[in-house]
Amino acid sequence: MTTALSLTAVRSRAAGSAKLRALRKNRLAMTGGVIAGVFVLAALLAPLVAPYDPAQPDFGNVLAAPDWSHWLGTDDLGRDQLSRVVFGARASMQVGVLAVILAFVVGVPLGLLAGYYGKVADSVVSRVTDTMLAFPFLVLAVGLAAVLGPSLTNATIAIGISQIPAVIRITRAETLRLKHVDYVAAAVANGGGDGTVLFRHILPNATSALVVQATVGIPAAIIGEALLSFLGLGVQPPEPSLGVMLSSAQAFLAPAPWMAVFPGLAVVAATLAFNLLGDGLRDVLDPRGATR
Amino acid sequence: MSPNPEAVLSVRDLSVSFRTDARTVHAVDHVSYDLAAGEVLAVVGESGCGKSVTSMAVMGLLPPTAHITGSIRLGTRELAGGDDKAYGKIRGKDIAMIFQEPMTSLNPVLTIGRQIGEVLRRHQGLSKKEARARAVELLDLVGIPAPAQRVDEYPHQLSGGMRQRVMIAIAVACDPAVLIADEPTTALDVTVQAGILEVLQSLRERLGTAIVLITHDLGVVADIADRVLVMYAGRPVEQAPVDELFAAPRHPYTRGLLSAVLRPGASAAADGGGKRRLPEIPGLVPSLDSQPDACTFAPRCARADERCTTARPGFKSDTDDAGDGAPHLAACWHPNTLQEAAQ
Amino acid sequence: MSTPVLQLNALERHFTASGGTVRAADGVTLTVDRGEVVGLVGESGSGKSTVGRCAVRLDEPTGGTVRINGTDVTTMSRRSLRPLRKDFHLVFQDPSSSLDPRMTVGQIVAEPLRLHGVAKGEAARARVAELLAQVGLRPEHADRHPHELSGGQRQRISIARALSVDPALLVADEPTSALDVSVQASVLNLLADLQRDRGFGCLFITHDLAAVEYLADRIAVMYLGQIVEQAPTAELFADPKHPYTQALLSAAPVPDPVTQRTRERIVLSGELPSPLAPPPGCRFHTRCPLAVDRCRTEVPALRTLDSGREVSCHLVADDGTAPDAAAPRPADADTSVRTIPHSRPASA
């Protein structure tokens, strides 16, 4: 409709900085962004932020309820819960970011290949993707981690691999869409080769979708890490991890509920924060301003 | 101006603005017109001039973010300020609208007979059987061949032109007093367009439907309109009977628009095969953020002087107007006199 | 005579669809000489855009040949075609989708220069400024993004990009259809000026008869994948031979109410047949007001008349005598035409 079109045109003229402004206006996204930022900072500055050594037991002060010296209480070995949550967040972020990077490094080129060249490349990549997607993400991650053996690195690899199909799928869909857009045809008509078309036109225009996918991938990886560690397939005690903390809290739910509550809240907060941020970015990250 | 009692549709000082985060967009700024029974009024202008928003406001189809002032009278009823419930009773019955793209306005999973019948059953309480019989009649009215078979087909089985005919059939099913057609032929080929214009023409003649035709195509205007309202940047700039507008445009924008449009056969006739330059209108359409107390066309106008940039011209008829029949209005401080305009 | 910049010979583009084969272009023969503007006119579904895309090898022809500057490019690989792309370019219909939204105007216009190694760095920047000036934009537009500009300005950028490497052939696919009337005029003026100054050959694809009349030296009319008539512009408008051309010319409303009211127009009945199953014989016979039995069985060839014009209709004699579709002989013609002496109440 002409109405809608002219309004969009009016709106998009002042784009650029408007994007940031729009994101700042989106309360939920901003809340998500702030919480996510806190997590990232905590992860980076864990040794400075944490008041105690997270692995140092204090048998004189086990299962202490939250008080002024231990804000989040202590666990069954007297370790400071706050320090363990901070270091646990560090492990979560490490897995979250590295797994997503791994998934993108492998998934984006395969998605481009399948979407742009089609034919045999597409059939092969799509069949493999479909097969992997037949398993729920966490089941796949657990299976892979079991095969690779328990460690933080292997958990990261397992989660990264399980996220590859989703990345392939979204890259392939974006490539298929962009392949038929006039400016890509124009690039071919300009004398551009596959490299120009893929890396100067298709990939940059697919970034919005990929950024959104990353913000969805990070919380999924955080949950994945928690689950793997909970099952003993990820971070090994005494190293702190939100999953390990939840796992050991099971036995003390009645006497020391704070052992489960705080790491649990941390997982929920991190997941929610990244998802909210992702939703906000999805709305804002369109090069022409708005699509709604 | 007070509302004309004889008009089937009377719009007075209609303004529509949209408030966005950063600013307010004045999409329509004090538009007035009257529409008589059986009359075709063409609303003409380029994209963003507010011609569609005006009609959406009349139909009550604007989103709640739109701020509407002024009066919209359909017969004796005041529509402005009406809620969805009030509009629900008259939309499709007393006033109907067709759009540029018929495919998106039709439900793909219902037969066209059902879709026409639905309106009839809602507003006229016809039985299923009666509605179907009437649907066949309506398809025949809009020139669809073999209507008794076509009534059971789905939208995707029809061509673009046929779909637009179906939309028209739905729109006129309850014999509305006013039909608003928003660029009804823009998505269609010229040979198909000719057929649709013919249908609109016959509706006006046979049913006495008054039509507001929104278009950017001056050929279509010349074909079917009785009267023309030209809009620029949300404001009305000229209104006149069609012959007068084409023969003697008063507003410089109308003159520019008319001279910029290409006329088949004109190139060869112009100067022995040599290519003439097409007249252009320099500059860009202004933003709709502000409502300056000035003529909004002044920055692009060769006649503009100080008055044009400091005071908004009224939308009025000039004193040397011949004065026969419908008035010729223009919003300009320096309109062409009749002698000048006719040249 | 020098080699034409574009020669299409019996060009075919068939698509395999679920219902069979879509014959989007079916034996199109057309040449564009150096410095000539050829208009390719047709309605939607006529295959005119497919012909344009095949001509610049953005679509792969399934038969016939495409020669550019005499070189057969029909089956050339994409890679070996790349250096040749300097010689031909395309302007798309919708300037909002043909410009990469993530690039600046400067990057967009400079892309062909960069890809063909014509200019780099400072030289490219200077050339871009020059090109922008030629299409009526200011040098500072180079730092803007497409969405910051109006539709007409974007189409100017598209034209600047296409002409940046001085191609011998420009294919313009409905370059003005997405634009407002007053902007259309300025883009047509620009194309005409540039064409006169630079002398490239141009295939101008459009459904807008007035635009094609303004710009083209010669016009080819397409119907359902085939060219039905070809003639110099003035002759075609003055004396259309093919009944379809006659209908097309009469259907386009003239922006003058007095003329429009007295004109007779031919309203075609029926629908454009599906390109999946084009009618036998003459493809236009299902809608032609003059069709006779022969038209339903025998395919008319595109013949050259004595005057040099080309037309594919059984009813047109070699000396150019053509029947008038607006006045069908009632005896042997279908009743599929109604000419409308445009009734209208005398006073509104």
Tens of pLDDT, residue by residue over B218-240, are 999 999 999 999 999 999 999 99
In this prediction, residue A292 has a pLDDT band, given cuts at 50, 70 and 90, of very low
User: What pLDDT is recorded for position A289?
Assistant: 46
Tell me, yes or no, whether A62 lies in a domain.
no
How high is the pLDDT of residue B268?
45
Beta-bridge partner residues of B12: B71
Task: Give dist(CA C30, CA C61) in Å, integer.
Answer: 14
CB contact under 8 A, A192 and C115: yes
Residue of C226, A2, C173, C340 whose CA lies nearest to B187: A2
Query: Rounded to whole angstroms, how far apart are CA atoms C67 and C49?
Result: 18
Report residue B10's pLDDT band, with 50, 70 and 90 as the boundaries.
Answer: very high
pLDDT in tens, C103-132: 999 999 999 999 999 888 899 999 999 999
Give residue B177's pLDDT. 93
- Whole-number mean pLDDT of chain C? 88
Is A11 a member of any domain? no
Nearest-Cα distance to chain C for A120, in Å, is 19
pLDDT digits (tens, 9 = 90+) for B46-71: 888 899 999 999 999 888 889 999 99
**Given an 8 Å threshold on Cβ–Cβ distance, is A11 in contact with B20?**
yes
Chain B residues inside the 8 Å CB shell of A1? 52, 99-100
CA distances (Å), A110 to each of A172, B332, C311, in order? 8, 63, 52
Average pLDDT over residues B250-277: 71
The pLDDT confidence band at residue B338, using thresholds 50, 70 and 90, is low
Burial of A120 (0-12, 13-18, 19+ CB in 10 A): exposed
**CA B220/CA C81 separation, integer angstroms:** 44
pTM of the model: 0.83
Is A134 exposed, middle or buried, given 0-12, 13-18 or 19+ CB atoms closer than 10 A? exposed
Q: How confident is the model at residue B3 (pLDDT cuts 50, 70, 90)?
A: low
What is the model's pLDDT at position A9? 38
Contact C115 A185 (CB under 8 A): no
Contacts of A4 (CB under 8 A, 6+ apart): none
Burial class (CB in 10 A: 0-12, 13-18, 19+), A31: middle
Which chain C residues are Cβ-neighbours of A200 within 8 angstroms?
100
Nearest residue to B300 via CA among C186, C124, C115, C123: C186
Tokens of A14: 């002042």
H or E element, residue B78: strand B77-78
Domain-located, residue A240:
yes
Place of tokens 């290949």: A113
Sheet with B178-182: strands ordered across: B95-98, B178-182, B210-215, B40-44, B227-232, B235-241, B329-330, B316-317
DSSP state of A198: I
In chain B, % of residues over pLDDT 70: 91
C176-224 residue pLDDT tens:
988 888 888 889 999 999 999 999 999 999 998 888 999 999 999 999 9
Alpha carbon distance B322, B276 (integer Å): 34
Domain extent at residue A215: 17-43+81-290
Calculate the dihedral angle through the C-alpha atoms of C194, C196, C198, C200, rounding to the nearest 10 degrees.
100
Residue A166: inside a domain: yes
Domain contains A75: no
Helix (H, G, I), strand (E, B) or coil at A226: helix
Which single residue is written with the structure tokens 């804002």? A284
Specify the CATH number for the domain of residue A253.
Answer: 1.10.3720.10
Give the C-alpha distances (Å, rounded to integers) separating B316 from B20, B239, B301, B320: 33, 9, 19, 12
- Output the CA angle A270-A261-A76, nearest 5 degrees: 120
In this complex, do A189 and C94 lie within 8 Å of one another by their Cβ atoms? no
Tell me whether residue A68 is in a domain.
no
Enumerate residues 184 to 223 of chain A having a beta carbon within 8 A of any beta carbon in chain C: 185-193, 196, 200-201, 204-205
If you measure CA to CA, which chain B residue comes closest to C180? B46
Picking from A268-282, B245-259, B275-289, which range would have the lowest pLDDT averaged per residue?
A: B275-289
> Which of A91-95, A233-237, C47-51, C79-83 shows the lowest per-residue confidence on average (mean pLDDT)?
A233-237
A2 lies in a domain?
Answer: no
Smallest CA-to-CA distance from C208 within C175, C243, C182 is with C175
pLDDT value of residue B7? 86
> How many angstroms separate the CA atoms of C43 and C128, rounded?
36
| Chain A contact present for C89, CB below 8 A | yes
pLDDT at B324: 55
Q: How confident is the model at residue C6 (pLDDT cuts 50, 70, 90)?
A: very high
Shortest CA gap B257–chain C (Å): 6
> B341 falls in which pLDDT band (50, 70, 90)?
low
pLDDT per residue over A131-190, tens digit each? 988 888 888 888 888 899 888 889 899 999 999 999 999 999 999 999 999 999 999 999
Report the length, in residues, of chain A: 292
Vertex A74: Cα angle to A73 and A76 (nearest 5): 140
- Asked if B46 lies within 8 A of C182 by C-beta distance, the reply is yes
Q: What is the mean pLDDT of residues C132-138?
A: 91
Q: What is the DSSP string of B1-46?
A: -PPPTT-SEEEEEEEEEEE-SS-EEEEEEEEEEEE-TT-EEEEE--
Q: What is the pLDDT of residue A194?
A: 92
* Residue from C250, C242, C232 nearest C316 by CA: C242
Q: What pLDDT, on a 0 to 100 scale, did the predictor assign at position A52?
A: 83
Name the DSSP letter for residue A287.
Answer: T
The whole-number pLDDT of residue A6 equals 39
Helix (H, G, I), strand (E, B) or coil at A259: helix
Average pLDDT, rounded, for chain B: 86
Query: What interhelical angle do A203-230 and A152-179 show, nearest 10?
Result: 150
Tell me the average pLDDT across B186-212: 89
Per mean pLDDT, which range of B82-96, B159-173, B315-329, C96-110 is the poorest? Answer: B315-329
Q: Could you give the CA distance from residue C338 to residue C328 in angstroms, rounded to a whole number?
A: 10
A29: distance to nearest CA of chain C, Å?
24
d(CA A46, CA A42): 5
For C335, other C-beta atoms within 10 Å of its C-beta total 9
- In whole angstroms, give the CA distance from residue A161 to residue C137: 50
Q: Is the pLDDT of residue B79 over 80?
A: yes
User: Subunits that touch chain A (at least 3 Cβ pairs < 8 angstroms)?
Assistant: B, C
* Strands B316-317, B329-330: pairing kind: antiparallel
- Amino acid found at C132: L
Pick among B223, B288, B324 to test the C interface (most C CBs inside 10 A):
B223
Which residues on neighbouring strands pair with residue C227, listed in sequence order? C222
Distance (Å) from the alpha carbon of B117 to chain A's nearest alpha carbon: 26
B284: nearest CB among C150, C259, C347: C150
Mean pLDDT of A104-109: 96
Partner-chain contact C251 B190, CB within 8 Å: yes
pLDDT in the model for residue B235 = 93
Residue A64 placed within a domain:
no
Q: Quick one: DSSP state of residue A257?
A: T
How many domains, in total, are found in chain A?
1
Confidence of residue B146 (pLDDT cuts 50, 70, 90): confident
Task: Calculate ∠ Cα C262-C264-C268, nearest 5°.
Answer: 145
Nearest residue in A to B289, CA atom: A10
Q: What is the pLDDT of residue B343?
A: 54
pLDDT for res C188? 92
